[in-house]
Structure 1
């Protein structure tokens, strides 16, 4: 740790993790995650697998009539996944403006209005809903950042209307944002007109075909998945929140993939046949079991290795960490054992997720296990998550059990080494 290179790396990674725009993107996606989960669960319920006489679909059809109850799930989808680009345009702008201590609500509304202005229209005079969803994510991110920066500059300049004291705050904020909103929306309108005249297409199509689509294709590959798994845990080992640091980069790539899988699944396609293997639920369900580093396997390994010494420090930490670990909350074990900056656990903590990524990728890509078709709350316990993300398949559970078994076997010798090292340090301290 006294190595200048490592110190510089930690400093740079820390700066990246706290970079204002990346934090706004991350927080923007986190803010709408409840809506994404609700929309995903609506699709899952609409296509729930049969259980004989306990078949949910059969029961609901009997109560509400054939297919009528599925309209509820369809409406939920339309209000969540189908407009996720618009939601992100608002959410990121709001969070970025708040970080500058300017009016977040006004910035979010301007960003949302500008997004609608740029969405192509259909021949019958309606908005092309394809660009309101995940296909418009990159435009939503770019637009939110650029327009919020412009809004900040204008608000802090003289191009505002200052209301006298005594005027309600909500009214005063509205007038402060009035002139910046007018200027920004005029610029967006001029840009849209120029795109139609000189490019003959929309900015959505240019960005989607030139940037978003190639990145999504790259993200669905095994090498990209391995890099994501490695980078996340390499950062975590140094005490940096790897999930947060790289989340703002991978969310725009992997979220559209699970959206496409879920949409096709809702349309009746089998979870085996949906196109994308690597998605956010792919990592959450099959790699990050117990949290980053598959630490639920580490807890099992600790209980297996240390069976007699009931008050051993490792065992005490494991007992305290186990309840949270079942719900994928693993900070107690990461900082309590600790794993951070502990050379004993460097290799298993970083490379077990990479190994599980490879195993899971081949299991899904070869059709042994259905692909992921639903997003769940990240606190969903293993076994249940494996069943649900694969559209209700026992094979998802089996893959989780196999992955956990492999992770436990890999962790066991390192736990034994850690126990010996701790014992030796205690003996040296006592002498």
Structure 2
């Protein structure tokens, strides 16, 4: 009965548009008071502080800041110029440039919203000028930006690793192959649209231009090499790698001698707000997690599902459907923080690798970023393109289909995404 009251209170508060972090904390406090009495108030603030005071979480604001520095120092513009010289000669090449640059930007920022805001503000207006149409421009930018939470480093992967007590580095390595598969699939869909609607070719391939843009972008190419090389080489932890990303981005920005201070200030403020929201969610989830653990709710859910089936692939199917539905209504950070601690006992009993499951969760939430009503990344892209969200969603269906295929491959052929993890860590 207590659990029902808590759930009802949480739903009512969310429907009243109370921020989910605040609603989650209030619902947790309600549960503690009903089950343990007013004396439970004594440790609430301390529990929330301890929950958010984790070394791994420092990586989140650092990666967001690195992405902001990239966009304010001309790094993003040079990457666009290089990728355009490389594949711009293909029909619909500008859409493929968008996907290619998103793939690279994802290796620095770890945030899909930061990705779509940085790249979309430059490439969506250009695509519209060249006759691509607002819905398509927004759809391809939005879907490719979701690669940012699949390709390392990924902020949702950091949150999952903290919530599930698994390795951040192994999560990052597991995301490499699915991210590349997703990028290839998205480019295939973009090329299909380009042939069908006769999108323009940007320019003939010119080797001198490719060489020139490559040289100009060369310092930018050093960023992922330094960051990911340091993390995967065991030189730095993922958190230290985030700090290294900021330092490297600053050095490259100084090299280019091109800083838009106004844009940098706005991006840093926005990044600070995003970080504060995530940290508050983490702190609130500790309260809810503490109550649920003492009430044995995760164990009861695990026993209930295992009572239906002990086949781990059927369990993964059930959890895939569950997370796809959750993705319609919750942001990725909220979904991970709220749900993963409840599901961890189930995957442990079912013999599912926590790193493999973390990748599945991440892919589900990448799809959730593209599906209304929440769809934070899609909404950002629609805002930049000044396009109707439902028109964009129709065009976006084939791109979402690519992400679904990658999800199924990663779920039921784990050897593909886990190959690198098994090679380097096991």
Please give the TM-score of this superposition, normalised by the length of structure 1.
0.28
Q: Which has the larger radius of gyration?
A: 1
TM-score (norm 2): 0.28
Structure with more contact order per residue of length (Cα contacts < 8 Å, sep ≥ 6): 2
